[in-house]
Structure 1
């Protein structure tokens, strides 16, 4: 097998030449205008070695990938009580669908669809002001990535507040069922700012290391979550991380992953590596077209899969 650095570099070269790049998210103007030629990849091994290529150091809006970090914080805050308000099953519907909320009485199917992530944001607010909780989330992600340069893209947040009518509808609908405990505008203030986190592939892969390392932040040696909770977050990423494309992603890639409409994907090879890819063009179900292809080629060439034991 070629070296991992060679594999990563080759994939970046192949993605640069790929003709079908998908279409950037059109409903959020700052995302719509990102150059579809961009592609980045970063792989952080268990020992901390980083292999990066392409636009791996260019920040992008991580969008729904942020739901991994807010879920982690919420579980640390309320533990398994969270599951009284959010389910753990794949949705089989679009990330912003309202249909299941009607039939399932306001309980979102999982924490990675928009409705579920809005409930997680509601849980995180607790007695905090939205601004304070946004600051806490930013500190958490910076610590995980060991990088204080991570910021919130306020232009993206403002655009999402201006165009987020469906998110408002989801939140009001769940409020009618008693699922929400805080005012909708406060919850959405936190939610849109978490989605507007701007990170590069390198920073995102570094931040995801704890899920590769049994819940421990390798930079500090401190536990972020228990090994059991890290396994369960990975399980949710595997089942629900790509919305109604999760089964296809599991079939093609075979790793837990979480996508965002900014074109990023965070994938975890437990015990081996944390991986981040980014290309802004999306496929028909809202996942990065080239990011998915790049991860498929990476696992083909490395043999990484949660269905194979770590050597």
Structure 2
């Protein structure tokens, strides 16, 4: 990938073409109706935003509309937890692809309570448990939200308490995962405390533009190219991008890597964040999901984005 090839690339034209071509797919797939608050969104919404390292922003669709980023929050939580706990975090969570559903209990039992990676639910609960342990119950989520707002350079990201309450009311599978890990000593905090923080983390809402902007430091070695703030180290950025490539789409991570060829993380709210190292960050939102819980139209939009711009890493 030649970086200078993109200096004068027509990014707006690319997004406009994707926005037009994606329309027939917006009726395919199903919204995440097992969380009632997510089922209430307009299922045919679509938005896409790309921010390059110059800070230029290009959009199509409802790019300023906030939506629940759900599991995409796991990316930012992992960075924060590593900043707080360091490499010792890896003693409690692995770095291997799961190959199973994001809320699998069977795999967790086979692995003696150690989650396969930090981007499945069990692993993300461990990450949130780490943040609570270092920041305290009352300030853990405020600290994470502040980090996301700093990365987005926006006060727009917020906790959608209606979604958080819905997550908590219908979160029995996550409770089962958490208590199972607690029995192995993997979780250090009380389960209700760790899960309350986790449910609020998953309920973070932000626009597609803010999400793309928040991922920009991951395309620039951990430093925000606009503000000069170092949000994490280059080494951790490289490692996180690798984990996103291998594990960011649950049991369809390999398929996403094959078809899109970029590090990415999905959420059952219909969002996907993808990183193009040394070029920029792209986010897409379309609530209808495929069988693995990833945005159906969003995945296709990112495949077109990658193919038509040739930003694929492979």
TM range (shorter): over 0.9
Q: Determine the structure 2 residue equivalent to 1:286.
A: 293
Change (3 A) 1:16 1:132: same
Q: Determine the structure 2 residue equivalent to 1:105.
A: 112
Q: Determine the structure 2 residue equivalent to 1:145.
A: 152
Alpha-carbon distance in 2 for matches of 1:53, 1:88: 34
Q: Determine the structure 1 residue equivalent to 2:258.
A: 251
Q: Determine the structure 1 residue equivalent to 2:222.
A: 215
Please show how residues 76-155 of structure 1 align to structure 2 within 5 Å.
Answer: 76-155=83-162
Question: Which of 168, 172, 183 is the equivalent residue of 1:176?
Answer: 183
Alpha-carbon distance in 2 for matches of 1:254, 1:219: 26
Question: Which of 172, 177, 193 is the equivalent residue of 2:200?
Answer: 193
Partner-residue secondary structure (3-state), 2:278: coil
Alpha-carbon distance in 2 for matches of 1:35, 1:66: 21
Segments of structure 2 that go 5 or more residues without pairing to the other structure are 1-7
Q: Which deviates more, 242-251 or 134-143? A: 134-143
Alpha-carbon distance in 2 for matches of 1:127, 1:294: 39
CA shift digits 1:105-162 (9 cap, x unpaired): 1000000000000000111111533331111111111111011122110000000000
Q: Determine the structure 2 residue equivalent to 1:41.
A: 48
Q: C-alpha displacement at 1:219, in angstroms?
A: 2.8
Please tell me the root mean square deviation across aligned C-alpha atoms, in Å.
1.2
Q: Determine the structure 2 residue equivalent to 1:52.
A: 59
Q: C-alpha displacement at 1:33, in angstroms?
A: 1.7
Alpha-carbon distance in 1 for matches of 2:226, 2:146: 15
Q: Determine the structure 2 residue equivalent to 1:241.
A: 248
Q: Which deviates more, 275-284 or 217-226? A: 217-226
Q: Is the 8 A contact 1:46 1:271 kept in 2?
A: yes
Partner-residue secondary structure (3-state), 1:181: coil
Alpha-carbon distance in 1 for matches of 2:277, 2:295: 22
Alpha-carbon distance in 2 for matches of 1:193, 1:15: 31
Segments of structure 1 that go 5 or more residues without pairing to the other structure are none
Q: Which deviates more, 11-20 or 273-282? A: 11-20
Change (3 A) 1:286 1:99: same
CA shift digits 1:214-271 (9 cap, x unpaired): 1101232021111111000000000000000000000000000000000000000101
Alpha-carbon distance in 1 for matches of 2:175, 2:303: 35
After TM superposition, the score normalised by the length of structure 2 is 0.96
Alpha-carbon distance in 1 for matches of 2:63, 2:137: 30
Where do 4+ consecutive residues of structure 1 move more than 6 Å? none
Number of equivalent positions = 307
